Chain A
């Protein structure tokens, strides 16, 4: 058998060392184990899993006051992280409602991680605006109902950058980088920015195009002005605190920060960008599907939907909620872009087998 790497003297010293001054002569061993119980599912509990800083804290509290169900919100910073949790860390058996980005939904259905919705329990679904009512990523809203929608763009500090030319060149063109900047730590979103800069579809399955986009991202990462990768919220916080002057973020996060500090601004790059929809789903093993359906129905209530959008500064897919949304938000082209701008945006789709190429290139980009 292999010899242990440390001999007996060393072992004795290791422990003498580690126990250092813990030379107790009388302290008794710890008492009997406290509640090392298995995970318990309380009937009155709802576990929600969504992007960070995405819900007004009052909304779960109101739901709790109304129904008696205790709501717990867990957060994630990227779609891949969320999928990993559902797929491997048993999240599919522990969360009741998960907010998922549109492109990931077909994959989750295929993996059997989310279950069909019982529309009878969600009467408020009729309020969903027509363009979100029967989406390509989830025909007939069998597995999801929309939560918010928005865009991907650039957030910057007007006091350090002045006027920024609204394009992805500020990130990918070394001569146009205005200062310390942050890339977004979300695989498909980062590729979307690179592919759009190169004038390609962000749903490409062509390995050469993906590889070229990867190299572009790598070059940006290697730039001395790049600070690193952060989630949308992390990037927003870096710009807000002054550690960076530019970040790739989602519109709502940027606008929420800009509302508190008018030195911050958000632009939609003119080469085109991503338009995304986040939707609420119920995982396959949800412990409390009753409360889950009730919660989804609650969010789709027009007043609650408006309150949500007023808080997180994203656009609501709820047609009936629109009339309760703040008028200045309603008129803000960063939240509700006009038709000509929307036409240049592309939705993200599930790319099936090609996901693996994206994954490998992403890992290579992050590791070099």
Chain B
């Protein structure tokens, strides 16, 4: 493959990367600026970060964000994998298979906001019927699990398709029963797909704002909700610091995972 690209391609790529990074870098620069408003450089300071870390509501929001992502990912990975296995390894009648496919694709093709609004309605109905489902951590986790199941199921399904039937048939020929088959053959083969699905689910949960915003309660603020509410009142240096920290955390997360995968391959 030709490694020499036309000039305009490189320039355009540079422009695209600039579009992605310049705003965040600007925030990072301003977060260590000693001025309360504006860009005028008034000296380097970490005061905003210090104030941030002493703020109880920020720490609580950070904790909520992580708990939400971790809990929902865990449940969704299990349920999504089970769904994928159940869907693709058994001969369902055409209509049922179609219905399941449709259901799994639904969160992918539905804009977030519609799903979020529908959940608000549903939770209010469930609350009226049962007295549970107060808006809070529980409802947020439920909401996240719901859309995550679909993505995990899709990832695992595609991995299952890649594995094909040969290995399973061979295992059966060797008199493996279902439990052994699952445990010793299928799940280990499926592991990369499950892991990929889990990571996707985790990312989607961390990245989400709209669904969390609609299903949150008073004690379950997450970082994006906190930033949004604060930004609506006005931009402050503490939020610059918080954004930069979140960005750095994401960078570390991504690079760390990259490291892990390249190390694992060796």
Show the binding face of A for B, using Cβ within 8 Å: 1-2, 4-6, 8, 11-12, 14-16, 18-19, 21-39, 47, 49, 52-53, 72, 74-75, 77, 88-91, 93-95, 230-231, 233-234, 237-238, 240-242
Contact = CB atoms under 8 A, between A and B. Distances in A.
Contacts of B261: 21-25, 27
Given A39-B136, A90-B135, A24 B199 contact: yes
Given A32-B74, A74-B218, A77-B232, A25 B264 contact: yes
Interface string B85-105: 000000000010011011001
Given A26-B264, A32-B74, A237 B217 contact: no
Contacts of B197: 15, 19
A30 B205 CA distance: 14
Nearest to A23: B261
Contacts of B101: 1, 4
B256 to A, nearest CB: 11
B62 interface: no
Contacts of B70: 30, 33-34
Interface string B233-261: 11100000000000000000000011011
Contacts of A231: 232-233
Interface stretch (B24-32, B153-161, B166-174): B153-161
A94 B134 contact: yes
A70 to B, nearest CB: 10
B161 A34 contact: no
Contact of B198 (A30, A33, A47, A242): A30
B34 to A, nearest CB: 16
Interface in B98-148: 98-99, 101-102, 105, 108-109, 120, 124, 127, 132, 134-138, 141
B210 interface: no
**Top-5 shortest CB links A-B:** A237-B234, A1-B98, A19-B196, A39-B136, A33-B71
B21 to A, nearest CB: 18
B200 interface: yes
Contacts of A15: 151, 154-155, 158, 196-197, 200
A171 B158 CA distance: 59
Given A36-B71, A231-B232, A237-B234, A30 B260 contact: no
B120 A38 contact: no
Contacts of A11: 154, 157-158
Nearest to B229: A75
Contact of A36 (B138, B155, B202, B232): B138
A19 B217 CA distance: 31
A222 B184 CA distance: 67
Interface size class of B (residues with CB under 8 A): 35 or more
A63 to B, nearest CB: 16
A91 B229 CA distance: 17
Nearest to A89: B135
A306 B99 CA distance: 65
A27 B264 contact: yes
A238 B257 CA distance: 41
B196 A30 contact: no
A5 B109 contact: yes
Contact of A1 (B75, B95, B198): B95
A52 B132 contact: no
A99 to B, nearest CB: 14
Nearest to B155: A15
A26 B265 CA distance: 9
A126 B213 CA distance: 41
B105 A6 contact: yes
Contacts of A25: 191-192, 261, 264-265
A234 B235 CA distance: 9
Contacts of A233: 233-234
B177 to A, nearest CB: 24
Nearest to B138: A38
Contacts of A234: 232-234
B135 A30 contact: no
21 contacts: A1-B99, A6-B108, A11-B158, A16-B158, A18-B155, A23-B261, A24-B199, A24-B260, A26-B195, A29-B195, A30-B198, A33-B70, A34-B70, A36-B67, A38-B134, A38-B136, A75-B229, A90-B135, A233-B234, A237-B234, A241-B234
Nearest to B37: A241
